Chains A and B, each alone.
Chain A
């Protein structure tokens, strides 16, 4: 049971390049999330998918797109990377869209992205 996995672990991009961050979970969770973590700012929600077939914007969606490929997989795409998108990206999943006690969000190890 691997939990939430993310690829790649590290990536360096040039401004204007595109890339897709991959996330998969094996816990049969219904909801999946993408966050970014910047120093001194905690985690900010980019997009989420409450259930397979739905996606919604979070707090900071500009410059990103997402695809809920199936129940297991949720990808994040940067179409034209900018230096402001240098960050650590975390994927998370939860059984329910509304966390209840221990049934809350579980996180992957993160992808460290540097945009030059």
Chain B
């Protein structure tokens, strides 16, 4: 089955940029999603990228996709304390009807 790998923790200072990385194995993934989970809450859709793009920008968020290396990253510019959360990478796999979630990266923003 599909494997989706993420590092477990990332710590940054407020105002710096954060980069959260994800690698996956299913080269046929069409849409690749990023979800955010705040403490004690459910997952909320943050952004996504279609596989024919290599970059997508959405305000402070930049998604980069390297299809050749099956590597996805999420950059958060000017990181704020409110960005502290767990971030999940979720490529669409299994012929396009299954989201496979990574282990999640816990982002801690320090003052």
Residues on A facing B (Cβ under 8 Å): 4, 35, 40-45, 50, 59, 90, 92, 97-102, 104-110
Contacts and interface: CB of A to CB of B under 8 A. Distances in A.
Contacts, number: 53
Which of A41, A45, A104, A106 is most buried by chain B, counting CB atoms within 10 A of its CB?
A104
Interface of B: 1, 4, 8, 31, 33, 35, 41-45, 48, 50, 88, 92, 96-99, 101-104
Given A42-B103, A43-B88, A101-B31, A109 B41 contact: yes
B42 A90 contact: yes
A42 B105 CA distance: 10
Contact of B96 (A43, A98, A108): A98
B44 A102 contact: no
A42 B42 contact: no
Contact of A42 (B1, B4, B45, B96): B4
Contact of A99 (B8, B31, B42, B101): B31
